Structure formats: structure tokens, C-alpha cells
Amino acid sequence: MSKILMVFGSETGNTENLAHLIEKRLADAGHSVTVENAASAKAENLAEGYDAVLLGASCWGDDSIELQADFDTFFAQADKMGLSGKKVAAFASGDQSYQYFCGAVDVVEEKAKELGAEIITEGLRIEGDGAGEDVAIGNYVSAVLAGL
Ligand SMILES: Cc1cc2nc3c(=O)[nH]c(=O)nc-3n(C[C@H](O)[C@H](O)[C@H](O)COP(=O)(O)O)c2cc1C
């Protein structure tokens, strides 16, 4: 059994729903999952004791990538999380009509790498709240588990 931390930032609930769909699959596979909303999460040493960290957010820019507000505030302290050497994967909810579809994935992966984390699989990019995306979510969870 692995210990997995998930932190999500969500404005209208889509990324939150997606986070819980991922959580359920990880838990069903026998892993211990802690889910934190970025609105109340404290970055200091947050990753300590976890085998993997999944980070998810939406974004809200028009012609640039603007992380969801709670996640933006939280992730500004990413260097305090203790991500160096950690296994990390990103996920995001977005809307394909925007230039940077699920751009949060790119921001999270870039920062996590900069902080010394290992990106264990390609980030999950989902339109909307994840309903009907069982295959994509299942594949992502399988890839995360393979990376543990
Ligand atoms: C002003 C505005 C800007 C947005 N910018 C983006 C964007 O750059 N990329 C993207 O994929 N989605 C973008 N979206 C769509 C939201 O990110 C999308 O609805 C997402 O599912 C919301 O997730 P949340 O409820 O977890 O915050 C934007 C929506 C609005 C209203």
C-alpha cells in the first residue's frame, strides 16, 4: 500500500470532482489517499511521509495560463512542500476552446521538476468534471500506480 497525497484547486467544482474520481480508483486499488483542497492546504512539509503527490487545478486565463486562485496561492509556496525526490503527477480540468487547454498541467510539471521531483506520468487533461472519462482516468491511475 502506498500513501498518496492529492491537492486540488477548483473554482466551480470540476477539478474537485475529478480529484475524487481519481481518489476512488486509487483507494479501490488499496492505497491510502489524502485529499486536500488548496483553499485550506498549508504547503509547509506537506509532502512529507507520502510516496507520491498528485497536484490538480483548473486555469482561468484567456491568452495566458492563470492557475485557479486557491491553487495559485498554495502553489506559490511549492518550494516549501518538500517535493525534492518525490514522485509527482499532475491533473487538470479545462475547456478545449481555450488556447492553453489544461495549462495547469504544464505549470505544475515544470515547477515540480525544477524542485527536484520525478514526474511519474504524463499529466491528465480532462474536459469538464470527469464524468464519462472513465477510460482516460483509469489509464492515468494505472500509469500513476506503475510509477510508484
Ligand atoms: C475566463 C475563463 C478563462 C478560462 N481559461 C481556461 C484556460 O486557459 N484553459 C482551459 O483549459 N480552461 C479554461 N477555462 C475553463 C475552466 O478552466 C474550466 O471550466 C474548468 O473545468 C473549471 O474547473 P474548476 O471548476 O475546477 O475550476 C476558462 C474559463 C473561463 C471562464
* Ligand 1 center–CA 109 separation, angstroms: 18
pLDDT at 118: 98
How far does the chain reach from its first CA to its final CA, in angstroms?
A: 10
For ligand 1, atom 20: residue with the closest CA:
94
CA–CA dist 9, 71 (Å, integer): 5
* Ligand 1 center–CA 2 separation, angstroms: 31
pLDDT at 98: 96
In ligand 1, which atom is closest to the CA atom of 10? 26
pLDDT at 5: 98
Structurally, the chain folds into a number of domains equal to 1
Range of the domain at 84: 3-146
In Å, what is the CA distance from 34 to each residue of 37, 64, 138, 140?
Answer: 10, 31, 19, 18
pLDDT at 62: 86
pLDDT at 77: 98
pLDDT at 41: 98
Q: Which residue has the cell 512542500?
A: 81
Q: What is the CATH number of the domain that holds 65?
A: 3.40.50.360
* Ligand 1 center–CA 91 separation, angstroms: 13
- Which parts of the chain have pLDDT scores under 70? none
To the question of pTM greater than 0.85 for the whole model, the response is yes
CB 102 near ligand 1, within 6 Å? yes
pLDDT at 63: 87
CB 15 near ligand 1, within 6 Å? yes
Phi, psi of 17 (to 5 degrees): -65, -45
* Ligand 1 center–CA 59 separation, angstroms: 5
